[in-house]
Structure formats: C-alpha cells, structure tokens
Amino acid sequence: MLISFTDVSKRYSAKSIALSDINFTVESGEFLFLVGNSGAGKTTLLRLLIRDLLPTSGKIHIDSQDVTRLPRSKIPELRQKIGMIFQDFKILADRTVYENVAIALEILGKGKPEIDRKVKEVVKLVNLEDKLFLFPTQLSAGELQRAAIARAIIGGPKVLLADEPTGNLDPTTAWEILKIIKEINQLGTTVIMATHNADVVNSMQKRVIALEKGKLVKDEKKGKYR
C-alpha cells in the first residue's frame, strides 16, 4: 500500500473537530475522489498528507514511513513524493509560466539542461507549449490551472493531491483539466482529488471516499457523489 490512515483525528480546539478516527488505505496508482460538504474535513486531510498539519492522534504512513513522526528536516523530501494542486492556483504573478514550473526543480538544485528538458515535457502534457513565456495576467483561469498542474508534477511525484482543481472553472475548462489529471493517473501517479463536482465524480466511476462533519461515512469502489 502507498498511503494509510490509522485512527487519525485532527482537532483545532475542543469544539472544532476537523477529522475523527479516519481509517483508509490507498494503493499505488489509484484514483480516489474525496467528497463532502464545505467543512467536512477534505482540505485538512490533504494538508495532513503533505505534513502542513499534524494529526491530534493516529498515524499516517506514506511508503511505509510514518509521516507524523517525520523530523522537520525530512519534510522537503516527503514533499518531493507528493504534488499538490490548489483551487486558487498559487501561481507567482511576477514569473512566467516557465519560471513558475521550473521553480520546483531550482529549489532541488537541478541544472539548467535538466530543468529545460523537464519543463518542456510537462508543459506539453498540459498543452501549454505556446504559453511558456507569458505571465499569469496573460493567461485564462484554465491556463493558470494547467500551469499549476505542470508545477505539481515536474518533480515526478508518486502522489498528486488536487484540492477542488475545477472549482473556479467553467464546465468545458473543468473537463479539460480533469482529462489532464486522468492522463497523469494513467501514467502511474496516484491521484487524490477533493471535489464538489457531482457530475465529474459520477461520470468517472472511480473510488469515492465521503466525509461528513469529520467522519468517514462512505468508501466505495466505482462510487457516486451521493
């Protein structure tokens, strides 16, 4: 198994319980939808996976490593395994598409030839070859999201987390983004996608985990939104 949650709870305060006794596993290469109303705990769960938060109790394993016990110095190494796509893109406004995508490899100290090669590979995958040297203000919302996907996958992560990646997009663009994420999954990357989009979930017929007030209330193979 690639990911496992064992009795995981997260409390922000005595009255604010984000997650309560969550248990599930994810196999390598799976595509999983994480659904639930706003405040159900979806984003908290994703933030736990990248060690942006620590659980109040329980254990989270990725590649058999207990990330809840990971020293702070090892967190960058963990995040090389996990790409993250955000609903609000988090693209740097003062950098071109190329620079936004390349930054992940620059942080790792990769050389320019390798960066050039990998940037070209991922922008081709997300159909942004002709936008490489444009700035964010020159891009549509869909193009911004595609740039964010390219940045998330350039390091070759084992897992891609997507937090409402189609939430701010029109229906046509949303399906284009979903098609790209599906292709990334077919190349072997495990995908966990949090979404409110019932049409997307119902049409894909992938595994569905539903959260309700912090509790896991459904885990179905080929599941539906409701």
Residue 99, in any domain of the structure: yes
Three-class secondary structure of residue 92 per DSSP: coil
| Local confidence band at 95 (pLDDT 50, 70, 90 cut-offs) | very high
Asked if residue 45 lies in contact with residue 19, where contact means CB atoms within 8 angstroms, the answer is: yes
pLDDT higher than 80, residue 226: no
Structural domain includes residue 84: yes
Q: Is residue 225 part of a domain?
A: no
Domains of the chain: total: 1
Domain that holds residue 46: 3-220
Contacts of residue 99, Cβ cutoff 8 Å, sequence gap at least 6: 92
Q: Each residue of 168-203: pLDDT tens digit? A: 889 999 999 999 999 999 999 999 999 988 999 999
CATH number assigned to the domain comprising residue 36 = 3.40.50.300
Residue 215 has pLDDT above 70, yes or no: yes
Residue 145, pLDDT score: 92
Residue at 226 is within a domain: no
Cα 114 to Cα 100: distance, rounded to the nearest angstrom: 16
Question: 158: which DSSP letter?
Answer: S
Identify whether 35 is part of a domain: yes
pLDDT at 1: 62
Kindly state whether residue 160 falls inside one of the protein's structural domains: yes
Residue 96 lies in a domain: yes
Overall pTM surpassing 0.85 (yes/no) = yes
pLDDT, tens digit (0-9, with 9 covering 90-100), for 110-126: 999 999 999 999 999 99
